[in-house]
Chains A and B, each alone.
Chain A
């Protein structure tokens, strides 16, 4: 069957987690039933990044991800789910945040900043023990952050940001009747829409 092919290249970078260090990140893609990844890895793990000693003490992964999807239906547009892990005070590996964002529709370069969050412990005592034992509450499946179902039972706390830049190329979208390109194709939107969300 004919299908639009949508290759992406992403690069994960610039996590902003105040107070945390030595973070690494797992990513995976969540997509609908009509989507098939044709090339690239849909799951992966990045290197551990540490804070720089000099002035802009940001954490940088600059981890490239290449993936190509094809689909017959825009429903279930791929989302990237990012979960960040890092050692806690005792050196246990704990989760530092979950987040998800849709891959941009339009071709071009986009930057997205994902607000990350972690599930909260159900009680104070739990919180303490989980801190003490280094086994914090985690999502059974990080994919749940890409969907709404069942989320009402969870309580989460926000915890930092991850910035992802996407380079999106689409093929045959228009031929198949989906016009997602901005009206002015000469200057695809270079201004990231969500940039700076965290500043507020």
Chain B
């Protein structure tokens, strides 16, 4: 090649030289050439590149011709050495277009040229390039020259004018032909591709990874190869192919389509709407999501079921089945006809032997034939043995068939009925006796001969052996004899040795026996007799028909009838399971009397998943209900060639190992039975049978078989598996299952050399080698462990993590724990102590803190309820509504719009004061000190006044009042004042108010007189528990605001009268007069409390009396005096205003009718839309957290009989007693115990058991009692001060409405000014709910007549009649009898505790107890209880005065319902009795507990301080 090139080069040089002298036509030509060159550029960049490289090597040769070569060289090397990036890219990737036609034509011609010429042309062309470049170079230089010589020279000097010359087209073509090369499109033979002495190497075969080559069409590849071949420098691989990188293009595009609606979209990029199609990506196994080819279908044809054994088989059936089986066997054998086949073979072999022997005799015995004869003989022997066995089998089969048939016949005779239609005919085939005998004899003879021959051979062999052995023996004998002779001369002792020798003496070989031909003959004949039909005996051909008649049922014995009935009851069906999922089932068909079931159903399974298993489950149903699985049959998934229509029916056997025993003629299954009368010869059968079915792939509409694609490769695996990844083929769960993965890898035949699979292969290697531990558990979050930063043990051990965890779980103690320390050591164990204690004590009932065991139980129970409710609340707190997150203005209704428009027209009144709404503050961003409680104490009325110390006894005017009297608004019954001057002479009282809240105390200045006016604002700071200002926490604040009214008493403390002139010594004493308690939660929910409250004044205030008539005489306010007691006007609010939390929106479960609930919701919506401020209550939540309709709570209940018996004649007093009883049950607001939860309503029995409840529980119980007492009573849902939304009770007493406050036991007339009930929203009775539709809702201004539908909107009306809801209340309340002894004991304990406390509170003083006074007080208390604290005041005073004489006594009884000790102590403390620090003060304290039924305790504490008067 090189030489050729050289030659070409020299030629080219010559042509160049020739051309050189005539530079004239060059310009034009070169332009033309440029054109072609451009074309060439396009066509084959790489050619150019190659050429340029080549040029470089040629350059030195050109030095001869040009001086400017050096420059050129630099330039060209510069150009040639570094192909531009574009060029390089084109080289590797360009798809070369076929060249234009003209060139092709030329190319065809040129192909005829020899290689040399082509090479030459190439070179020429390259040199043309050179020239061109030279020229430009020259031009550059020329310009420079011009610059030098431009002066003084004209253009004419340099320019030569010449006419343009033109070349003819043919000439042009000719020239082109010289320069152009068109590579051939034919394939290059491998031999040419490879360098001469090298063999092509196939890397793939050597186990190296070769990636997939990018697709290039074969013709292009050929062209390229040709071209490279031409240049001899192509990059070829070892296998002769062009080197190529693996295909970098992904199968699917990864770039998301750019969807911009704004800009105009090119029409081809426009999205087109297509209806949603069911995604078939779920077909994990079958096909990848990309190449889904349509649904595939399997047709499963289940034609029927035949039982070969069934528990209901009778004995005859068993035999018949056996017969049928044998007959089938017979038929099958007959079809195969092995005996005949083997016999023929035997004949053929014999002939062959005969032939070869004959042939040997005739001519030259061929060695082949000689060799084959023994082979033949061996074969003959084998064949004969096989034939004999087959013949014997045939005969045995025939015999058994006949035997079984005989058995059947005898059985039928015996049982006198037939169950099966089977009949066996034996056809005799007469044979020609003589020929038969002949063949028989011939056969025997042939066999005998062969046997003889064999025997002879054997004999000869043995004889041979015998001879050699004999020879040996003889020689041995000889040596032995010679030895003997030698030894005989030796001593006798050696004889024994000889004996030994003799023992070892070899046995003389026995000569083999000659085979006896007679013996052999006998053997042969015997065998023939056994297994072959005797000559002349007719051949028996059995034929089984089903033509027999079955005995009708009527004629059968009872057991058989039972059996047949049982069979009739049974039926069977088959479930089809595809990939162990049930896909369909056949209809249930009865089992026929011949134990066949015909289904004849074809199921078309459209499948997405690759079929892994196909299973049929055979079920048998007995009677109506019981279905039992008989057996499972696996059907092989059909080959892809089996299509519907061509699939054969197949019978698949099944059997079940169920043991069935039947009590009729049926033999059962798994039970042994016998055909013999004596029970011998037992046999056992299992239920078994055959399912005939066929499974095939369906054929689609166009005749396309709906078969999933099968691999085109010869691997035989579905290609679907091959081209998708592991996850798609075995599912993600498979990835954790190493075995599965390995299996998949094995099946998919991953290329182990592919670097992409490296990780996988390694994994599989490990997995299959068994080293990897295959986890036998399922992990949900496989990666979780990787993210665990500490081990679980460490995590559990760490206090810090525990703290964080508890805080995250919103456990009460830690919910607001801030700044969890960073280090373990900084967390003290103490933090958890409370929490752990609480956890421990949850179930332990500690009666220590509760003086009463029952209360302890109740408290525990309440605690549990509270916890569950709080948990529920916490969950509910994380549910958000849009309104919780987004503040959105409501759409203004038309009315509001109109109003606002009207407002625009309103004249402006800048001076009119307007109330500004305070800004509400969300509780979150508050901290300690931000919230203040403002208490504005305005004035008080009717404060008790001091009595003159030595006043005379007054006769008490005890008036037994009735309702009528009370409401008569007459004060005439009141006793007149003792003397007019007494009232004005002295300062009656100097009251001041002290407000204490959260142990902070504030007091007003002292005012004077029983109707003081303070008008002072007190400010108390508020601290939330744990610094948690969330609504949730604020709701559960248990603190109360105590507003205590005291009398400031000044005592002259001057001991010595002489000092009186010079100084004033007074001691200030404060005497408690009464108090008002307002829970903080009330203030929180109400935002402000404004009103006049009744001061809770003890029934007896020693040393004080009520100024009763003062007001009337002054004519101050006649209305106010209507009721008794002192009042205080207050205004309380929180600054800044807090937004109270909302109740939980949680859908509670319910047992109510859905319709009722809907009606209730509608009713509530209607009501609240009209009166948004009025609460409408129809459903409430019970203690179990279920929604209950409210009327279910109202039901007449019996009050304790004890109370009714106490006052048998007066119903009013009884009502008061009952109200008092209810009020004695301790009060526990829900909002405290169940913070944030709307009211929980407990039923009356629960309430009485818990002995704690809210207003509504009290109200419900009181209402029920009143109903039980035969009164007309309703529950009022309304608003009261200070409670806020509450429940009261309304009764109708003698055409007057009376309002009862259930938690205090007080009652008010409808027109009572001081009634704490402010608004009435709705009334509830046991069968209806009425909503207040009147304009006003104050009880004074409304009409309680519920019969007027305009005033009261009822829930149940004509359109929705009362459905008769049953009550949630018990039928009857059962009361425990009061335990007097326990009460007495408790009384003693409380007294002791209180005395201890008082002494404790006076640490600096001696506390003396006046026993005498105490016993007097103790006597007062039962009396007080009896009179319910009314009208006994004066008695006490008188009594005490009488008893004690010269003592200044101040004291009072406190009455409380008993619940816990804590509040008692608090109450005693708040009165401040202990604060007296006069040196000679004495105290008296008495406790009395009156026990009412059901352990309701009324507690009285009488406390007094005594100061001896001097």
Could you say which residues of chain A place their CB within 8 Å of the CB of B885?
Answer: 119, 139-140, 144, 150-151, 153-154
Asked whether any CB of chain A lies closer than 8 Å to the CB of B880, the reply is yes
Asked whether any CB of chain A lies closer than 8 Å to the CB of B804, the reply is yes
Q: A1-B826, A73-B820, A154-B882 are in contact. Are A121 and B922 (CB under 8 A)?
A: no
The interface size of chain B toward A, counting residues with CB under 8 Å, comes to 25
Could you say which residues of chain A place their CB within 8 Å of the CB of B817?
Answer: 33
Q: A141-B922, A153-B880, A153-B882 are in contact. Are A72 and B819 (CB under 8 A)?
A: yes
Asked whether any CB of chain B lies closer than 8 Å to the CB of A149, the reply is yes
Q: For B878, give its contact among A126, A138, A149, A176 (CB under 8 Å).
A: A149
The residue of chain B having its C-beta at the shortest distance from the C-beta of A4 within the complex is B822
Is there an interface contact between A33 and B888, defined as CB atoms closer than 8 Å? Answer: no
Could you say which residues of chain B place their CB within 8 Å of the CB of A139?
Answer: 885-887
The residue of chain A having its C-beta at the shortest distance from the C-beta of B883 within the complex is A140
Cβ contacts A17-48/B at 8 Å (1 or 0 each): 00000000000000001101000000000000
User: Which chain A residues (88-123) contact chain B, with CB distance < 8 Å?
Assistant: 119, 121-122
The residue of chain B having its C-beta at the shortest distance from the C-beta of A137 within the complex is B888
Could you say which residues of chain B place their CB within 8 Å of the CB of A133?
Answer: 889, 892
The residue of chain A having its C-beta at the shortest distance from the C-beta of B878 within the complex is A149
Is there an interface contact between A140 and B884, defined as CB atoms closer than 8 Å? Answer: yes
Asked whether any CB of chain A lies closer than 8 Å to the CB of B924, the reply is yes
Is there an interface contact between B886 and A36, defined as CB atoms closer than 8 Å? Answer: no
Cβ contacts B782-823/A at 8 Å (1 or 0 each): 000000000000000000000010010000000011111111
State how many angstroms separate the Cβ of B900 from the closest Cβ of chain A: 10
State how many angstroms separate the Cβ of B920 from the closest Cβ of chain A: 12
Is there an interface contact between B886 and A33, defined as CB atoms closer than 8 Å? Answer: no
Asked whether any CB of chain B lies closer than 8 Å to the CB of A125, the reply is yes
Could you say which residues of chain B place their CB within 8 Å of the CB of A135?
Answer: 889
Q: For B804, give its contact among A3, A71, A75, A154 (CB under 8 Å).
A: A75
Asked whether any CB of chain A lies closer than 8 Å to the CB of B891, the reply is yes
Could you say which residues of chain A place their CB within 8 Å of the CB of B819?
Answer: 1, 3, 33-34, 36, 71-72
Asked whether any CB of chain A lies closer than 8 Å to the CB of B881, the reply is yes
Could you say which residues of chain B place their CB within 8 Å of the CB of A137?
Answer: 886-889
State how many angstroms separate the Cβ of B817 from the closest Cβ of chain A: 7
Is there an interface contact between B888 and A150, defined as CB atoms closer than 8 Å? Answer: no
Asked whether any CB of chain B lies closer than 8 Å to the CB of A2, the reply is yes
Among B818, B884, B885, find the residue whose CB has the most chain A CB atoms closer than 10 A: B885
Inter-chain CA distance A34–B807, complex, in Å, is: 11
The residue of chain B having its C-beta at the shortest distance from the C-beta of A118 within the complex is B886
Is there an interface contact between A72 and B821, defined as CB atoms closer than 8 Å? Answer: yes
Could you say which residues of chain A place their CB within 8 Å of the CB of B891?
Answer: 125-126, 129
Is there an interface contact between B880 and A150, defined as CB atoms closer than 8 Å? Answer: yes
Q: A129-B891, A153-B880 are in contact. Are A140 and B886 (CB under 8 A)?
A: yes
Is there an interface contact between B804 and A73, defined as CB atoms closer than 8 Å? Answer: yes
Inter-chain CA distance A72–B924, complex, in Å, is: 22
Inter-chain CA distance A1–B816, complex, in Å, is: 18
Inter-chain CA distance A141–B886, complex, in Å, is: 8
The residue of chain A having its C-beta at the shortest distance from the C-beta of B922 within the complex is A141
Q: A140-B885, A151-B885 are in contact. Are A129 and B892 (CB under 8 A)?
A: yes
State how many angstroms separate the Cβ of A117 from the closest Cβ of chain B: 12
Cβ contacts A31-69/B at 8 Å (1 or 0 each): 001101000000000000000000000000000000000
The residue of chain B having its C-beta at the shortest distance from the C-beta of A140 within the complex is B887
The residue of chain B having its C-beta at the shortest distance from the C-beta of A3 within the complex is B822
The residue of chain A having its C-beta at the shortest distance from the C-beta of B814 within the complex is A33
Asked whether any CB of chain B lies closer than 8 Å to the CB of A158, the reply is no
The residue of chain B having its C-beta at the shortest distance from the C-beta of A144 within the complex is B885
Inter-chain CA distance A149–B810, complex, in Å, is: 15
Is there an interface contact between A33 and B882, defined as CB atoms closer than 8 Å? Answer: no
Could you say which residues of chain B place their CB within 8 Å of the CB of A72?
Answer: 819-822
State how many angstroms separate the Cβ of B813 from the closest Cβ of chain A: 14
Asked whether any CB of chain B lies closer than 8 Å to the CB of A130, the reply is yes
State how many angstroms separate the Cβ of A103 from the closest Cβ of chain B: 18
Q: A33-B817, A75-B804, A149-B878 are in contact. Are A130 and B888 (CB under 8 A)?
A: yes
The residue of chain A having its C-beta at the shortest distance from the C-beta of B823 within the complex is A2
User: Which chain B residues (595-621) contact chain A, with CB distance < 8 Å?
Assistant: none
Q: For B818, give its contact among A2, A34, A149 (CB under 8 Å).
A: A34
State how many angstroms separate the Cβ of B1033 from the closest Cβ of chain A: 14
Is there an interface contact between A122 and B880, defined as CB atoms closer than 8 Å? Answer: no
Could you say which residues of chain A place their CB within 8 Å of the CB of B889?
Answer: 126, 129-130, 133, 135, 137
Inter-chain CA distance A153–B880, complex, in Å, is: 7
State how many angstroms separate the Cβ of B236 from the closest Cβ of chain A: 46
Could you say which residues of chain A place their CB within 8 Å of the CB of B887?
Answer: 137-140
Among A33, A36, A121, A129, find the residue whose CB has the most chain B CB atoms closer than 10 A: A33
Is there an interface contact between B884 and A33, defined as CB atoms closer than 8 Å? Answer: no
Is there an interface contact between B880 and A2, defined as CB atoms closer than 8 Å? Answer: no
Is there an interface contact between B886 and A34, defined as CB atoms closer than 8 Å? Answer: no
State how many angstroms separate the Cβ of B1036 from the closest Cβ of chain A: 20
User: Which chain B residues (919-952) contact chain A, with CB distance < 8 Å?
Assistant: 922, 924
State how many angstroms separate the Cβ of B280 from the closest Cβ of chain A: 31
Inter-chain CA distance A34–B826, complex, in Å, is: 14
State how many angstroms separate the Cβ of B846 from the closest Cβ of chain A: 33
Could you say which residues of chain A place their CB within 8 Å of the CB of B823?
Answer: 1-2
Inter-chain CA distance A151–B885, complex, in Å, is: 8
Inter-chain CA distance A130–B890, complex, in Å, is: 9
Inter-chain CA distance A172–B349, complex, in Å, is: 103
State how many angstroms separate the Cβ of A177 from the closest Cβ of chain B: 8
Could you say which residues of chain A place their CB within 8 Å of the CB of B892?
Answer: 129, 133
Inter-chain CA distance A149–B1249, complex, in Å, is: 41
Inter-chain CA distance A71–B822, complex, in Å, is: 9
Inter-chain CA distance A141–B822, complex, in Å, is: 31
Could you say which residues of chain B place their CB within 8 Å of the CB of A75?
Answer: 804
State how many angstroms separate the Cβ of B459 from the closest Cβ of chain A: 98
Cβ contacts A141-171/B at 8 Å (1 or 0 each): 1001000011111100000000000000000
Could you say which residues of chain B place their CB within 8 Å of the CB of A121?
Answer: 888
Is there an interface contact between A73 and B822, defined as CB atoms closer than 8 Å? Answer: yes
State how many angstroms separate the Cβ of A183 from the closest Cβ of chain B: 19
Inter-chain CA distance A41–B820, complex, in Å, is: 23
The residue of chain B having its C-beta at the shortest distance from the C-beta of A156 within the complex is B886
Inter-chain CA distance A71–B821, complex, in Å, is: 9
Inter-chain CA distance A72–B820, complex, in Å, is: 6
Inter-chain CA distance A125–B888, complex, in Å, is: 12
Inter-chain CA distance A54–B706, complex, in Å, is: 71
Is there an interface contact between A1 and B886, defined as CB atoms closer than 8 Å? Answer: no
Cβ contacts B891-904/A at 8 Å (1 or 0 each): 11000000000000
Inter-chain CA distance A119–B880, complex, in Å, is: 15
Inter-chain CA distance A176–B807, complex, in Å, is: 22
State how many angstroms separate the Cβ of A152 from the closest Cβ of chain B: 8
The residue of chain B having its C-beta at the shortest distance from the C-beta of A130 within the complex is B889
Could you say which residues of chain B place their CB within 8 Å of the CB of A122?
Answer: 882, 888
The residue of chain B having its C-beta at the shortest distance from the C-beta of A128 within the complex is B891
Could you say which residues of chain B place their CB within 8 Å of the CB of A144?
Answer: 885
The residue of chain B having its C-beta at the shortest distance from the C-beta of A119 within the complex is B886
Could you say which residues of chain B place their CB within 8 Å of the CB of A126?
Answer: 888-889, 891
Could you say which residues of chain A place their CB within 8 Å of the CB of B888?
Answer: 119, 121-122, 126, 130, 137-138
Could you say which residues of chain B place their CB within 8 Å of the CB of A3?
Answer: 819, 822
Inter-chain CA distance A3–B818, complex, in Å, is: 13
* A-B residue pairs, 5 tightest by C-beta: A150-B880, A137-B888, A135-B889, A72-B822, A119-B886
18 pairs, A vs B, C-beta closer than 8 Å: A1-B819, A1-B823, A2-B823, A33-B817, A33-B820, A72-B819, A125-B891, A126-B888, A126-B891, A129-B892, A137-B887, A138-B887, A141-B922, A150-B880, A150-B885, A153-B880, A153-B885, A154-B882
Q: A1-B819, A137-B887 are in contact. List 14 more A-B contacts (CB 8 A).
A: A1-B822, A1-B826, A33-B820, A36-B818, A72-B820, A72-B821, A72-B822, A119-B885, A122-B888, A126-B889, A139-B887, A140-B885, A154-B885, A176-B822
